[in-house]
């Protein structure tokens, strides 16, 4: 398994649509936490997007998973950036 940092960028004009689908989005994330896939997640304090720390076999599998996010299905994410991450210090270091 590899760990990936996934950055969502939000369009400020779609806040209402995000608010409408936020409960389903968070339930989806909580299910992935229970599966050990999502290690951490949360919005940026300025509301511009969010960061997800995700465990996945491959980046291709990760992209499929992100595509299942209700926010992605509803088109409220303007951009997604995924980057493989190698934690060497802290609580995530023993997961790789």
Structural domain boundaries in the chain = 2-88
Residue 91's pLDDT band, with cuts at 50, 70 and 90, is: confident
Q: What average pLDDT does range 2-22 have in this prediction?
A: 95
The predicted pLDDT at position 96 comes to: 62
The predicted pLDDT at position 33 comes to: 97
Q: What is this structure's pTM?
A: 0.91
Q: CATH for 2-88?
A: 3.30.70.1060
- Kindly report, residue by residue over 18-70, the tens digit of the pLDDT: 999 999 999 999 999 999 999 999 999 999 999 999 999 999 999 999 999 99
Using only C-alpha atoms, the chain has a radius of gyration, in whole angstroms, of: 13
CA distance 19 to 55: 26
The predicted pLDDT at position 24 comes to: 98
Q: Which residue, among 6, 96, 71, 70, has the nearest Cα to 44 in the 3D structure?
A: 6
Place of tokens 């339930």: 27
């Amino acid at each position: 398994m590899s760990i990936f940092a996934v950055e969502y960028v939000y369009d400020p004009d779609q806040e209402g649509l995000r608010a409408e689908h936020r409960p389903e989005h968070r339930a989806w994330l909580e299910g992935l936490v229970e599966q050990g896939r999502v290690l951490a997640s949360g919005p940026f304090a300025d509301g511009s997007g969010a960061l997800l720390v995700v465990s996945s076999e491959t980046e291709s599998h990760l992209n499929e998973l992100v595509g299942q996010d209700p926010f992605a299905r509803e088109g409220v994410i303007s951009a997604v950036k995924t980057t493989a991450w190698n934690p060497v210090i802290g609580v995530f270091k023993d997961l790789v």
